[in-house]
Amino acid sequence: MEKQTIAQEAIEILKEAKQPMTAAEITQAILDRGLYSFNTKDPRAMLRGAIERRCEGGNRQNSVAEKFFKKLPDGKYTLK
């Protein structure tokens, strides 16, 4: 089985949740299920960066072309 990226795991978590979630909630769900091994002291920041690069309407210099996420005014993320 091919290892998934953080963004792919976040997509799966949001699909399963069927509701918007914060970066902290998504990170905790990934950790609880053992879906990804974060090699950092701040997994939430790592996840947030991965999501923000793929967020609709984002203006990050390191964004990627294909957008999967949308950031809501309350700071939660959803699938676009």
Q: What is the average pLDDT score of the chain?
A: 90
* Mean pLDDT (whole number) for 47-51: 93
Environment class of residue 18 by beta-carbon count within 10 Å: exposed (0-12), middle (13-18) or buried (19+)? exposed
List, for residues 4-34, the tens digit of each pLDDT value: 899 999 999 999 999 999 999 999 999 999 9
* Mean pLDDT (whole number) for 46-58: 89
pLDDT (0 to 100) of residue 62: 65
1 pLDDT higher than 60: no
Domain-by-domain residue ranges, the chain? 6-79
* CA distances in angstroms from 69 to 1, 44, 57, listed in the order given: 25, 16, 9
